Structure 1
């Protein structure tokens, strides 16, 4: 199909982009990498009055350190996340998930900000930001606003961003000693969306698990934290048996909605992938 008619603008700065969003309101849509938006436009699932292309805003790209945080511009591509030394050193879970997102062509165009603001529950990067207790910084007409990842995803393809706000950066705590990370997912085929994904961050101490953060992809209308399994892992031995017991409750409270796959099957996948992800994270513990 052919998209409906819309106006097109290509701002050169964050301020200019925010001004356009404020003027148009809910009728405007942001074009970042376009990997998710363009198919929706062609299907006329979205019909914006204005498309704001932010690809020429240099302030939105790049990775930097700021104290104990890693700050990533919203227009940083998945390819850059995969190869950036600061990301590999300070947020290895994000680099691992970026490597598994789409294919090389998608990763060269797709952006971190575009992925998290699209808020697809099957996306691979949003659960990582959630598992790492990240913060998302938006700029609007009234200035900057910081939104914790736990409050950012509010529904299917919906976030806490206001219509006139632009996501400018994602802030992640730097990986500390004792932490291990792993991202595990299952998809029916190489080109199929993630059926279930698990982002695991585990801190080990004295042979046991002192702290765990587990986030799930495609087990509900938004990325989810697996609070029951996080609690069960905390204080548990870092053994296969103990991890398997903790993973049994990972699907509690989830509402997977992907057509064609039963909730029983998806819950089984979540348990298996959680066990694999946590054990792999334990093995990659940083010293």
Structure 2
């Protein structure tokens, strides 16, 4: 006699009881993350606690914190990042408003170009500015040809203002992209109602558009701030001699001076600032309901 199979309950797939727990599926990404990021980070922290004299000590931190070069680099990094973020927020908000709400030929092409711009490396934008405003750039060459003056008037790219201009130029699209996405979801009926009630464009932007764009503006600003704190290529390619940021200080300590414990100390400080800002952004955005 053949035995009859007992029918399985409805909704119970074969082998469902042998499914792996979700923690097992999360294990491979965690292992990869630990191998490519956490382990090198642990080595950096370990090296920062290992002075050249041997052993484990906080002396490298004391030496770095006591140096004027570190304090100047920290201040330069902070004010450049804050100023660049403020410039990107203002410029990005205005440009996103124009692209999203002011009809003009080629508006869609400009919006697509922003997506392409995000893939450009930072040093490429800096090189473009050097070709325009550098010592032998087009602006100085045109000035010399027109006026006949032997000296070049545009020398600001090798100053902190040149670094600030390059950072604002490069990072503004990182603010515009989330803003354009937020503007595309804005109900145009609100704008039409406000306009029919006699509200002027500035009032519409202040009371209708800006509240809807605040989460995207905060996200873009937070991203730009963290990226500016860790920017290396722009400062290096502008050739600004008097501008030393924390990433530049890591480079000079490790490559030029071969002082690896001091370089790791500066790197740990830079990482701590970036992670702290990210954590602060998450707390503030969560409390604001963004």
Q: TM-score range by the shorter chain?
A: under 0.3
Higher relative contact order (CA 8 A, sep 6+): 2
Q: TM-score w.r.t. structure 2 length? A: 0.23
Larger Rg belongs to: 2
Greater fraction of residues in helix: 2
Q: TM-score if structure 1 supplies the norm length?
A: 0.24
Tell me which protein shows more strand as a share of its residues.
Answer: 1
